[in-house]
């Protein structure tokens, strides 16, 4: 992993780069076998605000891409999700953190016509449509799921896997691994 992290420093990341972030498990704590259905259940992962402050200084764009299957299953509404995101963005704003946009997939697994549920690439294609200057070869996706890693590989992004586990499957999908978004941010900060 030391060699991999050394090569991460050689990517020459600057303001032309885009950072794609998963939400649950990267920004906020996941609820195992359930969903964050409302703001009262939303809890930031420790040090994530500090991480985003660092990353905002490094990347030109920060975009959140998130599967929100709870909507498709009828466990929450899109209005619930908007409220969660509005509150989250307000806290970011209070901390001088700007998120360029949030894209989400509301569909359940059974929706055959869905092209946006990760690892499908619909969410990031929408981001590319809204921000034509995005270059996927100058993009990093950070997620705690192999679905995020698979999505990144489909469009040749750099993939960063967030996990506290020492061992993980499908290593071919993972370019770099960190224990948290904060650990990733600290590592990049040392480069700049």
Point out the residues that are catalytic: 22, 24
φ and ψ of 62, to 5 deg? -125, 125
Distance of CA 53 to the CA centre of its chain: 15
Task: Record the tokens describing residue 99, joined without a space.
Answer: 């998120």
C-alpha span between 133 and 122 (Å, rounded):
17
C-alpha span between 167 and 67 (Å, rounded):
24
Task: Record the tokens describing residue 51, joined without a space.
Answer: 């991480």
- Residue carrying the six token digits 């995005």: 134
Strand partners, 65: 103
φ and ψ of 129, to 5 deg? -65, -45
- Residue carrying the six token digits 């989250």: 88
């Amino acid at each position: 992993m030391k060699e991999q992290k050394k090569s991460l420093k050689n990517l020459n990341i600057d303001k032309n780069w885009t950072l794609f972030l998963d939400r649950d498990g990267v920004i906020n704590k996941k609820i195992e076998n359930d969903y964050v259905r409302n703001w009262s259940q939303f809890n930031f992962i420790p040090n994530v605000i500090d991480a985003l402050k660092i990353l905002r200084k490094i990347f030109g764009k920060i975009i959140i891409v998130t599967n929100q299957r709870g909507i498709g299953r009828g466990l929450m509404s899109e209005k619930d999700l908007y409220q969660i995101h509005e509150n989250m963005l307000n806290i970011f704003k209070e901390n001088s953190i700007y998120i360029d946009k949030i894209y989400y997939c509301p569909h359940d697994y059974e929706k055959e016509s869905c092209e946006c549920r990760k690892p499908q690439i619909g969410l990031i294609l929408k981001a590319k449509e809204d921000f034509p200057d995005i270059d996927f070869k100058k993009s990093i996706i950070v997620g705690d799921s192999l679905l995020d890693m698979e999505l990144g590989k489909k469009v040749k992004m750099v993939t960063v896997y967030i996990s506290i586990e020492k061992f993980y499957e499908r290593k071919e999908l993972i370019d770099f691994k960190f224990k948290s978004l904060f650990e990733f941010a600290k590592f990049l900060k040392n480069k700049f």
